[in-house]
Structure 1
Amino acid sequence: MRATDPRSITIRDVAREAGVSPAAVSKVLNNAYGVSDAMRERVTAATRKLGYRPKPAARAMRGRSYTIGVLLADVASPFAPMIVDGIQREIDDTGLQVLLGPGGASPERQQRSIEAMVDRQMDGLILIAPNVPTTWLETLAEEIPVVVIARHGTGRNYDSVVDDDVAGAELVVKHLSELGHEHITHIAHPIGKLRRPSVLSHTAREDGYCRAMTDRGLVPHVVTTSYTEEGGYTGAMAALRSERPPTAIFAGADVAAFGVLRAAAELGLDVPGDVSVVGYDNVAISGLPQISLTTVDQSGELTGSMSARLLRERLDGRDKPVTFSVSTRLVERRSTAAVRPAKGAP
């Protein structure tokens, strides 16, 4: 329902009336460069029809705000702070400030958070693992500089920083198969409404796992839960209680691997004697001696610093899309070992 009190009308109301994005409305109201006459007329007509008046603070803001908005799709992820630290290190001497926005899991919630940052006239956006529609993302990037992290597929209007997730998953399968494991379960995260090639990292990791298993003549076994400690626990319980339990489990994120370790402990299984466990991300806690998790390192700090560097280039005038791929490496620790021979085997 459209608001009738001019004091309660927002930029989003104007955007709906004009049939454009909130970012486009902000650009018109700020008399920004690159606004077409047709766009200006549509937005102006909508503001007049609705009686919209920018708040004094918004009217006073012109030019650069020297703020960067960072969308965190998952604030509970232990990998996200590593990215944010890299962003902050890159802009420490630039005068730019970082403002964080929790996005949540749903595309709708993420869109609202992004629009709120646009409404506050931030200079640019870094979106960590956004699952918003591709068309919406492209439209957003036409109005404001955007760098996307952990989303595959090349954007026409935005830059991307991605881990080579397919290669990372292949490193895991190679490591486990060389240890003699053939029955390797992968704990994955739902793909949601996204479709290849524009998918998030977890889907690319699942693709890499399946391809590496097939290439070695092994049968992929995927359990889809979530990249959370509880998701790893639930997935591991289902796999380890099956008629043919795996000898190794590859969790697509370290936080999920922690859940796998909890499940193995509750079932009285030895890691790695009864089941080997591998994670992904190499978060700090993975290296603790009590955990010693074999995992894939994708350098969260480098991911963050490169995203900030690309955004600075955008702010300086570059308009050609760039994709930066972060190399992966396997970090071997004590959670993996050679497969134990079956009882009675020579």
Structure 2
Amino acid sequence: MDKPARTGRVTIRTVAADAGVSVAAVSKVLRNAYGVSDNLREKVLQSIEKLGYRPSTAARGMRGRTFSVGVLLVGMDNPFLPPLVDGFKHAMGKAGYKTLIGVGEARTHVETALIESMIDMRIDGLLLIGPRISGEALNKYADQVPIAVIGHHEAGATGFDTANTNDFEGGRLATRALIDKGYRDIAMLCLTDNRRKEGEVWYEREKGYRAALAEAGLKKSARSFRITERPDDMQAELLSLLARPDLPEAFFCWSDIHGVPLINLARRKGLNIPGDLGLISFDNTAAAALPLIELASVDQTPGRLGATAADQLLTRIKGRTTPRHDLIAPELITRPSF
């Protein structure tokens, strides 16, 4: 249906008059206040859509909340991220919040600039996914706005919250599964070690991998092969790895980012998976489940992670000061790759 022509700015009073309700009722719908009936909400939302009303974020910010939150992604190429962001947006939307998304491009200066811009927009909260900035910097920003972080472990942090899969346990779970299958020469494929380690998810997974080997009396056989995340360089490094004379019996891959291309390249080289090589990865992305891939992978339930982070932000916004550091138990999704 075409929107009616307007001769002036649409205000909350315009919406109230069109819906046949009070200004206070429209305000309650906009704030997602408790006790608003479905019938009232539907009437007001229909008028908002028909009139093209947009609440002034700046004005709402002057009165208190803007009912908007920011999400900062480390990049766009990780297939684990869309369901995570969807889970977060769905939970925040139910609470009446809009979500603004920025991409940090895995660069610290870009991340900090985006965070500061979002704070300047008077957002009510901020979710950071896989940030490259330090915990000290996170605490500085948490003094200005409620912050939840996914992809960064810092259980001692008091200023901000974290929501993560138990990455240590996930690494141990995957490695134990390979050991139980009879593999003894098990290597880990992870990221280059020129990045800060403490708090990184891949480092927690590597600690879990090494713990499982130690528990099985295989501590001395631990090997970590470090591969770049850059797509242009990754394939050459993986092919070089597969050509090594000391190729291990099995790999635990820190992420499907490496695991999916590795299983694909290994099969193209004529290796039997399993048989010549066993593989387990992490993230359980859609690509890992494809019939021609069938890569066993540790599931992080990304939608649940996003919803957990949303709950952390909402309770922080409402005044909670005690920190939360939620860990979700991982689950190994078994497929015929090991």
The TM-score, its normalising length taken from structure 1, stands at 0.76
Q: What is the 5 A alignment of 1:113-128?
A: 113-128=114-129
Q: Distance in 2 between matches of 1:314 and 1:227?
A: 34
Residue equivalent to 1:282:
284
Q: Give the total of aligned pairs.
A: 279
Residue equivalent to 1:332:
334
How far the C-alpha of 1:135 sits from its partner, in A, is 1.3
Cα separation, partners in 2 of 1:319 and 1:183, compared to 1, 3 Å = same
Cα separation, partners in 2 of 1:195 and 1:174, compared to 1, 3 Å = closer
How far the C-alpha of 1:178 sits from its partner, in A, is 1.3
Q: Distance in 2 between matches of 1:213 and 1:231?
A: 30
Q: Distance in 1 between matches of 2:86 and 2:164?
A: 17
Q: Distance in 2 between matches of 1:184 and 1:234?
A: 22
Residue equivalent to 2:20:
none
Q: What is the 5 A alignment of 1:1-346?
A: 61-62=61-62, 63-154=64-155, 155-196=157-198, 199-218=199-218, 219-227=221-229, 233-336=235-338
SS in 2 for 1:278: strand
How far the C-alpha of 1:87 sits from its partner, in A, is 0.4
Determine if contact 2:74/2:103 at 8 Å carries over to the other structure: yes
Cα separation, partners in 2 of 1:170 and 1:287, compared to 1, 3 Å = same
Q: Distance in 2 between matches of 1:64 and 1:192?
A: 40
Determine if contact 1:141/1:158 at 8 Å carries over to the other structure: yes
Q: Distance in 1 between matches of 2:242 and 2:163?
A: 35
Determine if contact 1:230/1:259 at 8 Å carries over to the other structure: no
Give the letter for the 1:215 counterpart: E
How far the C-alpha of 1:66 sits from its partner, in A, is 1.0
Cα separation, partners in 2 of 1:312 and 1:75, compared to 1, 3 Å = same
CA RMSD of aligned residues (A): 2.1
How far the C-alpha of 1:234 sits from its partner, in A, is 4.4
Determine if contact 1:187/1:235 at 8 Å carries over to the other structure: no
Superimposed CA distance per residue, residues 228-273 of structure 1 (whole angstroms, 9 cap, x where no aligned partner) = 6667644533332222111111111112111102321332212112
SS in 1 for 2:143: helix
Give the letter for the 1:119 counterpart: D
SS in 2 for 1:139: helix
Determine if contact 2:148/2:309 at 8 Å carries over to the other structure: yes
Provide structure 1 residue ranges, at least 5 long, that are not aligned to the other structure: 1-55, 337-346
Q: Distance in 1 between matches of 2:282 and 2:234?
A: 12
How far the C-alpha of 1:276 sits from its partner, in A, is 1.3
How far the C-alpha of 1:299 sits from its partner, in A, is 0.6
SS in 1 for 2:284: coil
Give the letter for the 1:87 counterpart: F
SS in 1 for 2:66: coil
Determine if contact 1:188/1:227 at 8 Å carries over to the other structure: no
Determine if contact 2:69/2:123 at 8 Å carries over to the other structure: yes
Residue equivalent to 1:46:
none
Moved over 4 A (4+): 56-61, 227-232
Residue equivalent to 1:27:
none
Determine if contact 2:84/2:304 at 8 Å carries over to the other structure: yes
How far the C-alpha of 1:136 sits from its partner, in A, is 1.2
Q: Distance in 1 between matches of 2:178 and 2:232?
A: 24
Cα separation, partners in 2 of 1:158 and 1:200, compared to 1, 3 Å = same
Q: Distance in 2 between matches of 1:60 and 1:292?
A: 50
Q: Distance in 1 between matches of 2:230 and 2:303?
A: 21
Identity of aligned residues (%): 28
Give the letter for the 1:137 counterpart: L
Determine if contact 2:159/2:323 at 8 Å carries over to the other structure: yes
Give the letter for the 2:181 counterpart: L
Give the letter for the 2:214 counterpart: T
Q: Distance in 2 between matches of 1:328 and 1:134?
A: 24
Provide structure 2 residue ranges, at least 5 long, that are not aligned to the other structure: 1-55
The 10-residue stretch of structure 1 (132-141 or 186-195) with the greater mean CA deviation from structure 2: 186-195
Q: Distance in 2 between matches of 1:315 and 1:216?
A: 46
Determine if contact 2:227/2:238 at 8 Å carries over to the other structure: no
Cα separation, partners in 2 of 1:192 and 1:118, compared to 1, 3 Å = farther
Determine if contact 1:186/1:222 at 8 Å carries over to the other structure: yes
Superimposed CA distance per residue, residues 265-312 of structure 1 (whole angstroms, 9 cap, x where no aligned partner) = 332212112111211011122212221110001110110000001100
How far the C-alpha of 1:214 sits from its partner, in A, is 2.5
Give the letter for the 2:281 counterpart: G
How far the C-alpha of 1:320 sits from its partner, in A, is 1.0
